[in-house]
Structure 1
Amino acid sequence: MKVILHLIIFCCFFNASIYAQHESNITYGLKLGGLHSTISNIPESIKGRDNTFDNSVMESKGKFGLEGGFFLNCKLYDTRVAIQPEILFRQMGETITYHDAVGKEFELGLNYSFLQIGALYKVYPYEGLNFGVGAFYGINLSPNDVTYTSNEAGGMYDVATRQFYIDGLDGGDDFSLCFALGYELHKSIHFDFRYYLGVKDMIKSNASSFQFIENQNKSSVFSFSLGYSFHQW
């Protein structure tokens, strides 16, 4: 399935590049922005069957990150629509905080980096105003980047506990639908607000002494970016 998705995305970029050689309304450029991401059901996975968590509070806080990369905007001839393939680098993940009645506290960070490949179908109802919908496949470049800090014994056991989480939670690739609202100024500046809805389980829970429970852990990302289009082809 992953190979098929990669082939589809590659074909999209290849076709857009060929089309660009014969059309004057093709632009390309770079974009950079910030985002806030969450991953669903992480506390439920971590609590598992460990009764020591019964009188505790565990919350998802989300994580801020950056997103940036290359885009190719192909406005279809004599229409108000465009196809926009993109290759992006993204930082996203989740932050989990814990505290209980006896004063124990810890913070768990899942810090993932992704290579995002996908495309948007964009409609321009008025001048540079545009709405877009599309899909992106994210290749996880750092599936085991986990941080763990606690106040237990002055952090004496943090390294060992962090390794338990690395062994018990495997970060995977992501696949998400994208909904975008943007505006393109005449001087090549673009503003873009997006919501990415994850539709794929992106974390696998492995057997460990923590007795994690496997469930559906899906991403949710809000992003805002600024783009710049270079000269037309």
Structure 2
Amino acid sequence: MKVILYLSIIPFFFNTLSYSQNETNITYGLKFGGLSSKISNLPESIKGRDNTADNSAIETKGVYGLEGGFFLNLKLRDTRVAIQPEILFRQSGEKATYRDAVGKEYELGLHYSYLQIGALYKVYPYEGLNLGFGAFYGISLSPNNITYTSNESGGLYDVATRQFYQDGLDGVDDFSACFAVGYELHQSIHFDLRYYLGVKDVVKSNASSFQFIENQNKSSVLSFSVGYSFHQW
């Protein structure tokens, strides 16, 4: 199923480009920026089913990452509307810090990477100012990129415990709705602020001796990027 999805990407972009040359004004270029991301409901997943039997707490915080890639901007003739397909690389995830009554502490980090494929529908109410919304499908590139550090026995068991989490938790493909506001300068430089709202589970729990709770761990990402267009309208 995934192979079919990947193979359908190439003709989609070529068909879009061919259509745009006849019916639209086209710009294309690269963009790069930073982001802050979170994954919901992580403490409930990693504490397991017996989460009321111990005197412990888990705090979570988002992680920072990078986002960048290639875009086409297809402005429909005689309108203030554009379609913008994109292929992006994105880093996102979450960190969880565990503390209990006997002084044990550890930090678990989920650091996932995705190939983002999607498009925005953009409206230009005034000059280069634009508002956009769309959807992106994220193909998981690093499903087992998990970090683990603790104060237990000076970190003696960290490698084994990290492997335990890598075997028990898998990062899976993401799907997000995207809301954007941006501004495009006449010198081909543009700025873009986005919020990605995940609508599907991005962490899969595998069968293990520890009873992870399978629930809806959805992503949320706030990003800011700078782009450059190689061809103006």
TM-score, reference length from structure 2: 0.94
Q: Give the secondary-structure state (helix, strand or coil) at the position aligned to 1:61.
A: strand
- Indicate if the aligned counterparts of 1:9 and 1:118 stay in contact, CA closer than 8 A: no
1:30 partner letter: L
2:214 is matched with which residue?
214
1:180 partner letter: A
2:105 partner letter: E
Task: Tell me if 1:34 matches 2:34.
Answer: yes
Q: What do the CA deviations read for 1:12-60 (whole angstroms, capped 9, x no partner)? A: 4233211233357210000000001111111101111245873111011
Task: Tell me if 1:18 matches 2:24.
Answer: no
1:84 is matched with which residue?
84
Name the CA distance, whole Å, in 1 between partners of 2:208 and 2:62. 24
Q: Give the secondary-structure state (helix, strand or coil) at the position aligned to 2:144.
A: coil
**Identical positions, percent:** 80
2:138 is matched with which residue?
138
1:62 is matched with which residue?
62
1:129 is matched with which residue?
129
2:177 is matched with which residue?
177
- Indicate if the aligned counterparts of 1:48 and 1:212 stay in contact, CA closer than 8 A: yes
Name the CA distance, whole Å, in 2 between partners of 1:196 and 1:211. 30
- Indicate if the aligned counterparts of 2:24 and 2:75 stay in contact, CA closer than 8 A: no
Aligned pair count?
A: 233
Name the CA distance, whole Å, in 1 between partners of 2:165 and 2:181. 37
Name the CA distance, whole Å, in 2 between partners of 1:194 and 1:11. 27
TM superposition shift of 1:4: 6.8
- Indicate if the aligned counterparts of 2:24 and 2:74 stay in contact, CA closer than 8 A: no
Q: Give the secondary-structure state (helix, strand or coil) at the position aligned to 1:25.
A: strand
1:189 is matched with which residue?
189
What is the Cα-based RMSD across aligned positions, in Å?
1.9
- Indicate if the aligned counterparts of 1:109 and 1:148 stay in contact, CA closer than 8 A: yes
2:74 is matched with which residue?
74
- Indicate if the aligned counterparts of 1:12 and 1:85 stay in contact, CA closer than 8 A: no
TM-score, reference length from structure 1: 0.94
2:97 is matched with which residue?
97
Name the CA distance, whole Å, in 2 between partners of 1:52 and 1:41. 16
